Structure 1
Amino acid sequence: MSRIRSKNTGPEMIVRRLLHKLGYRFRLHARELPGKPDVVFRRRKKAIQVHGCFWHRHSGCQDCSVPGSRQEYWLPKFAATVARDEKTLTDLRALGWDVLVIWDCETRYLADLEKRLVRFLGAPARDDLVQTG
């Protein structure tokens, strides 16, 4: 478990690269916000959380299995993670933030993910766009 990363995970990097390619600019892991969201758009008051299906218990996902051994350890650990995620979402929304949760398995379908991100964020603001040339 020491090799499990909390920042800059593979799915998070996929989302960040796609956002950058689409022309959005953002901040990472805002410490002052509940749960330190993975991607933050301060002016828009929008945040994106990228969750691993296994750790955050994506219901109905094939990646959301429970280890066969030591279930007395794993089940409370998973329950605490889910409760913490719910509290984080509630706290962010109470502060007026819109939050999008992207699951690890959803990062496999880039076209669908791109549509979902644009729908959530709207068009990139003029000052968000990259200046070329």
Structure 2
Amino acid sequence: MLKYKLVSRANPRKRNEKQFYAQLTGVQTIKRCDFLSLLEKRSSMSSADVKSFLDALEFELMHRLANGISIRLGDLGSFRATIRSVGAVNKKDYDQRKYIKGVNVRFRPSAKWMREKSKTGELISFETVGKA
């Protein structure tokens, strides 16, 4: 369940008007060892096998992303690298050390996941918490 609160923000089109937006709250992080235990329970693999697989998955994801390769993981979705940069006045002055500010990894859920899971409430449900 995704818990959210309503927050008041300025309307981007009319700055003097406020609108209410949903903002996630109470996002929790699961530790790797706990996640491995969950995966072990849902598969026929031992904890060592699950750890080995996850190690390989992490290594290959990072290696492929660092080489500009997008990774599609079936019905889950895909990962791709993007870069953050600032503009230069002209091409000849462009120095990547100065203008490229960093790398991000973007995740895009598959169309099937978005269609079948998030819209039906089968996987995702929402709860309002707090006050705006």
TM-score band, normalised by shorter chain: under 0.3
Higher strand share: 2
Structure number with greater Rg is 2
TM superposition score normalised by structure 1: 0.26
TM superposition score normalised by structure 2: 0.26
